[in-house]
């Protein structure tokens, strides 16, 4: 494809994207396809000759769009907000068009230095400590793994340069809660700690947040057993309920025992744009690392995850490699992001944030976040005031955990009379909503029983959409009882 051919096709693609985004509110939220439906529409063999661009574009409408759950839909209340604001889309397109090779500073000086500046913009916008530095990773799962690797090397005095964990005398232990994201357990496994050395700390039965006293007790018990406590992962906004672990109370315990303290704020980190929400990370200055995803609630195009560290030199020592072919005359003078994470090659991810911040501006982002917080509060208050509906977790952010509790299944005192029937009822009305295509919600288990999460935060979602989903919740819950 020549640049002129690209120009023609690109104009057509931009028009298509704009038309698609305008059409999203009219589409079913959940993909209305069955397994294999998409694949059956595609030829078994790759084309032997070039096809016309308009034919490819037509298949986006015919094959791809019907096979997507519409995350940008105003009636999307699923897993978590995963916005892709169009200002950021332009930055992503620019990054692809530039085709920069981000392996060292020398391979793309602008890639490195724009990222340094933009990551520091984000640090300032979220009120993080001045001495912290960060890098952009693909997802918080990768960022968590990098943090856990850094924790491993701190606890083992850089065992990677010797015999690794298998040469250590005492097993290293990591602490989190059962409500932490699954990426924490995966990181513990991949970093070689072993799942037997992952400790799940008790949570408060009402808030689902980590109990500092239980953390201290587990650490002391492990020390008596001959283990070596290495890290604690604090969740600021758990996936299930957006529970907030008490960072300020956990920090002194981590410092006392020399644990690496990693803060996972994957979705909730966006709330730090709001000065009034920075209580979420009280105590952050004494943590060792923090990860959050602008590609969720903030609206930056996937994939864009920020990992900040208090001691970047430790991270570089753990992650760096120096093959001769990457030697540069400016080594020691510049940031080499190859030494800040797992991959060598990196995309120009910073452009997505750079475009978004410059074209939309932080105040517009703050207004949208405040709108979503207010809408979640409206839903929670309305549900609490409605007979037979219950909000099952504190609403700190934009997620509301609900359950419809018919009087023949739950007593007036809140005692569950038939748990299996209640679960079946909950899943039935949630599935009915999703199958209708009118909205999307996600069931989740809490205290062994099913609840429904309503995660508010799509870019287009207004109070009228929240009112509409509340009406739909009541209609489908009532219909399943008939």
CB atoms under 10 Å from CB of 66, counted, come to 15
The verdict on 414 and 295 lying in the same domain is no
pTM value?
0.94
Asked which of 332, 359, 386 is the last residue of a domain, the reply is 359
3-state secondary structure at position 53? helix
Q: Is residue 458 a contact partner of residue 73, using CB atoms and an 8 Å limit?
A: yes
Contact yes or no for 134/174 (Cβ under 8 A): no
- Residue 346 and residue 270 share a domain: yes
pLDDT tens, residue order, the chain (482 aa):
999 999 999 999 999 999 999 999 999 999 999 999 999 999 999 999 999 999 999 999 999 999 999 999 999 999 999 999 999 999 999 999 999 999 999 999 999 999 999 999 999 999 999 999 999 999 999 999 999 999 999 999 999 989 988 888 899 999 999 999 999 999 999 999 999 999 999 999 999 999 999 999 999 999 999 999 999 999 999 989 999 999 999 999 999 999 999 999 999 999 999 999 999 999 999 999 999 999 999 999 999 999 999 999 999 999 988 776 777 778 888 999 999 999 999 999 999 999 999 999 999 999 999 999 999 999 999 999 999 999 999 999 999 999 999 999 999 888 999 999 999 999 999 999 999 999 999 999 999 999 999 999 999 999 999 999 999 999 999 887 76
Say how far residue 214 (Cα) sits from the centre of its chain.
27
Distance, in Å, from the CA atom of 81 to the CA atom of 84, rounded to the nearest integer, reads 10
Q: How many CA atoms lie within 13 A of 366 on its CB side?
A: 11
Count other Cβ atoms within 10 Å, centred on residue 435.
Answer: 12
CB 209 within 8 A of CB 243: yes
Residue 347's pLDDT is 94
The answer to whether 247 and 234 have CB atoms below 8 angstroms apart is yes
Domain for residue 102, yes or no?
A: yes
Amino acid 412: pLDDT: 85
Q: Do residues 180 and 284 share a domain?
A: yes
Same domain (yes/no): 150, 262: yes
Q: Please report the beta strands in 67-166, taking only residues with DSSP state E, as ranges in sequence order.
A: 133-137
The verdict on residue 188 lying in a domain is: yes
Based on its alpha-carbon atoms, the radius of gyration of the chain, rounded to whole angstroms, reads 24
* End-of-domain residue from the set 322, 339, 359: 359
Predicted pLDDT at 482 = 65
The reported pLDDT for the residue numbered 305 is: 97
210 three-state secondary structure: strand
CATH number at residue 290: 3.40.640.10
Q: Residue with structure tokens 């105003």?
A: 74
Same domain, 259 and 369: no
Please, which residues have CB within 8 angstroms of residue 391's CB and are 6 or more apart in sequence? 380, 383, 384, 400, 401, 402
DSSP string, 314-374: HHHHHH----GGG--TTTTTS--GGGSSS-SSB--THHHHHHHHHHT-HHHHHHHHHHHHH
State residue 137's pLDDT score. 97
**Closest by CA position to 428, among listed 440, 406, 443:** 443
The tens digit of pLDDT for each residue in 404-413 reads: 999 999 998 8
Using CA atoms, how far apart are residues 201 and 176, in angstroms rounded to an integer? 6
Residue 66 falls within a domain, yes or no? no
pLDDT single digits (tens) 438-472? 999 999 999 999 999 999 999 999 999 999 999 99
Host domain of residue 212: 94-359
Q: What pLDDT is stored for residue 322 in this prediction?
A: 77
Tokens of 225: 């057993």
Domain shared by 216 and 128, yes or no: yes
Within 10 angstroms of residue 133's Cβ, the number of other Cβ atoms is: 19
The partner residues of 244 in beta bridges, in order of sequence, read: 236
Let me know whether 424 and 371 are in one domain: yes
Distance of CA 357 to the CA centre of its chain: 19
Measured torsion, CA atoms of residues 351, 357, 359, 364, in degrees rounded to the nearest 10: 150
Q: Is 30 inside a domain boundary?
A: no
Say which residues have a Cβ less than 8 Å from residue 161's Cβ, sequence separation at least 6: none
In three-state secondary structure terms, 376 is helix
Distance of alpha carbon 205 from alpha carbon 60, whole angstroms: 47
Distance CA 421, CA 409 (A): 7
- For residue 87, give both structure tokens: 């200002």
Q: Does one domain contain both 290 and 396? A: no
372: domain CATH number is 3.90.1150.170
286 and 301 share one domain? yes
Calpha distance 421→408 (Å, rounded): 10
Rounded CA gap, 205 and 470, in Å?
27
Q: What is the pLDDT of residue 324?
A: 66
């Amino acid at each position: 494809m020549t640049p002129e051919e690209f120009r023609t096709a690109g104009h057509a693609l931009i028009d298509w994207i704009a038309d698609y985004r305008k059409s999203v509110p009219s589409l079913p939220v959940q993909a209305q396809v069955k397994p294999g439906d998409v694949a059956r529409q595609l030829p078994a063999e790759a084309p032997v000759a070039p096809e016309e661009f308009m034919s490819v574009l037509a298949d986006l409408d015919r094959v791809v769009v019907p096979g997507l759950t519409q995350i940008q839909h105003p009636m999307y209340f699923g897993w978590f907000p995963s916005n892709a604001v169009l200002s950021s889309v332009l930055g992503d397109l620019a990054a692809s068009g530039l085709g920069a090779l981000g392996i060292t500073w020398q391979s793309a000086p602008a890639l490195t230095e724009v990222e340094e500046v933009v990551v520091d913009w984000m640090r300032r916008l979220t009120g993080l400590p001045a001495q912290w530095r960060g890098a952009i990773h693909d997802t918080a799962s990768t960022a968590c793994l990098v943090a856990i690797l850094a924790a491993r090397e701190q606890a083992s005095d850089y065992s990677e340069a010797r015999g690794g964990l298998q040469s250590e005398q005492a097993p290293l232990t990591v602490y989190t809660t059962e409500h932490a994201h699954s990426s924490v357990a995966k990181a513990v496994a991949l970093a070689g700690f072993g799942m037997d050395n992952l400790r799940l700390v008790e949570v408060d039965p009402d808030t689902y947040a980590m109990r500092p006293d239980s953390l201290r007790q587990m650490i002391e018990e492990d020390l008596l057993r001959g283990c070596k406590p290495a890290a604690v992962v604090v969740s600021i906004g758990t996936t299930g309920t957006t529970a907030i672990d008490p960072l300020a109370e956990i920090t002194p315990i981590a410092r006392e025992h020399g644990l690496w303290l990693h803060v996972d704020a994957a979705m909730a980190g966006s709330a730090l744009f709001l000065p009034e929400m920075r209580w979420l990370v009280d105590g952050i200055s004494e943590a060792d690392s923090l990860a959050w995803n602008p590609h969720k609630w903030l609206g930056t195009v996937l994939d864009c995850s920020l990992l900040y560290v208090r001691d970047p030199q430790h991270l570089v020592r753990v992650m760096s490699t120096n093959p001769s072919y990457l030697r540069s005359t400016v080594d020691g003078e510049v940031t080499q992001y190859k030494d800040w994470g797992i991959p060598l090659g990196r995309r120009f991810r910073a452009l997505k944030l750079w475009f978004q911040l410059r074209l939309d501006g932080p105040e517009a982002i703050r207004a949208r976040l405040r709108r979503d917080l207010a809408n979640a509060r409206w839903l929670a208050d309305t549900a609490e005031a409605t007979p037979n509906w219950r909000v099952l977790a504190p609403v700190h952010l934009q997620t509301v955990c609900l359950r419809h509790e018919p009087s023949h299944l739950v007593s007036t005192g809140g005692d569950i009379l038939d748990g299996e029937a209640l679960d079946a009822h909950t899943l039935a009305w949630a599935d009915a909503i999703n199958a209708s295509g009118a909205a999307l919600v996600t069931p989740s288990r809490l205290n062994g029983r099913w609840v429904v999460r309503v995660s508010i935060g799509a870019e287009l979602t207004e109070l009228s959409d929240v009112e509409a989903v509340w009406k739909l919740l009541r209609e489908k819950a009532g219909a399943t009882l008939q």
